[in-house]
Copies of this chain bind each other. A is one copy, B any other.
Amino acid sequence: MKSEFMNAALREARKGVRANDGGPFGAVVVKGSRIVSRAHNSVVKTNDPTAHAEILAIRKASCRLGRFNLSDCEIYTTSEPCPMCLAAIYWARISVVYFGCTRADAAKIGFDDEFFYRALEGRARKSEKRVRSIQLGRKGCLELFRAWAEKPDKVLY
């Protein structure tokens, strides 16, 4: 069963590569014994840098199930999720991720997942270009946080 789900993710990835939609990555979201959604990397096709297989599969699954909490789902992906996708998996409350290749494998064919993990952990090398991060206007933003905290009809996610 598990290898069938991984094969479905791999078929999606192959489809994306054939169509030149983006990198060689596919993912499926599974609930019980059923595939809820399938997606492949579409960064190039859609000009969307966030259109990774896992993000698209999560968005489709949430849309189909009509909820943002996918805690009863698992995700199968042909490569170890990048930090964007892994954090998306956390936000979706997915419990298990099955992955094929590793971030080191992805680095070998030219993808930056490994560097981004290092950058987020504050371990980027001096030669690597980090995003500059500057704090600004905290006061006004905090006021909104306080207003939200006191909001009786807020929905947590």
Q: Which residues of chain A have a CB within 8 Å of any CB of chain B?
A: 2-3, 6-7, 10, 13-14, 17, 20, 22-24, 43-44, 47-50, 55, 58-59, 62-63, 66-70, 76, 78-80, 82-102, 105-106, 108-110, 112, 116-117, 119-121, 131-138, 140-142, 144-145, 147-149, 151, 153-157
Whether A79 pairs with B20 at a CB distance below 8 angstroms is: no
What are 23 A-B contacts with C-beta separation under 8 Å? A6-B136, A6-B137, A10-B144, A14-B144, A17-B147, A20-B154, A22-B155, A24-B148, A47-B67, A48-B59, A48-B62, A49-B58, A49-B68, A49-B91, A50-B88, A80-B133, A89-B131, A95-B131, A96-B132, A96-B134, A100-B142, A105-B141, A110-B149
